[in-house]
Amino acid sequence: MGPPFRSMRLAAIQMCSGKDVDRNLDRALALVNRAAEEGADVVALPENFALMGSDRERAQFVQDLDGAVLKELGRVARERSLLLLAGTVLERSRDEADPRPYNTSVLFDRQGSPIAVYRKMHLFDVSLTDGVSYRESESVRPGDEPVVAFVEGVGFGLSICYDLRFPELYRLLAFRGARVVFVPSAFTVETGKDHWMSLIRARAIENQVYIVAPAQFGTHESGRVTYGHSVIVDPWGTVLAQAPQKESVLWADADFGYQDEIRSRVPVAKHVRNRIFSLLQAAPEREAG
């Protein structure tokens, strides 16, 4: 059975966040308000929307889930009657044995209440061909629980950036009822130019979901350069909206009747062989990795 209504207006926000948290938050709130004025029901901010700095700088801005930044987003969600995704913030860990924070997304409902919290599961530990290495796990601890939140009859799946490379996560989100999946990101230019759109479209097509992927773009004060190209893709893999390389709000309408039609015509969920998942779980780590 589908949602009680047939469509929602989805919006993704593209930012070039810097080191000034207050300025970043002011820009984020202004862009959320612009999305609301364009009729958005659902608005998503990018990864690290409140601070794009070095690991040391970001570590000084670790938040609790009731911290000031998230309270402000809850307020605007309530005032604008929006479903609002706080891209990611660094969430304080209560584990004294491992004080690394989580990289966390929070989804607010139209009353401004946090209804879903997702802690990034896959951490970006890579060495790129340009000689640059990233070791997210040195400063961030991984989450361990996939999250789907049901709001107004619609399942929203949560994921973050590097998660895109792990299709089993998105299959599980779809199995759990996701119709829309968020991918707040801060992709590198090197990986983005070759992989971003291919991965986004693949996750949408194979799971027949809408993908809302708000991203960081441009050269940040820390010197890091991110790819941008925020995008909204439909369950057929069609790009409904894509941001230019500037601060942007993009939107598209999710048609759940159309989604049901796609799922009926090409019923991949019925054709999945669950045996694959048991084999994957039993595979030696070196083969799976």
Catalytic residues: 47, 120, 161
Q: For 42, list phi and psi in degrees, rounded to 5.
A: -130, 130
Q: How many residues does the chain have?
A: 289
Contact 239, 201 (CB under 8 A): yes
Q: Burial letters for 47-85: b for 16+ Cβ neighbours within 10 Å, e otherwise?
A: bbbbbbbeeeebeebbbeeeeebbebbbebbbebebbbb
| Contact criterion met (CB below 8 Å) for 13 and 248 | yes
What gap in Å lies between CA 14 and CA 211, rounded to an integer?
15
Name residue 134's amino acid: Y
Between CA 184 and CA 106 the distance in angstroms is 11
Half-sphere exposure of 39 (CA within 13 A, CB side): 7
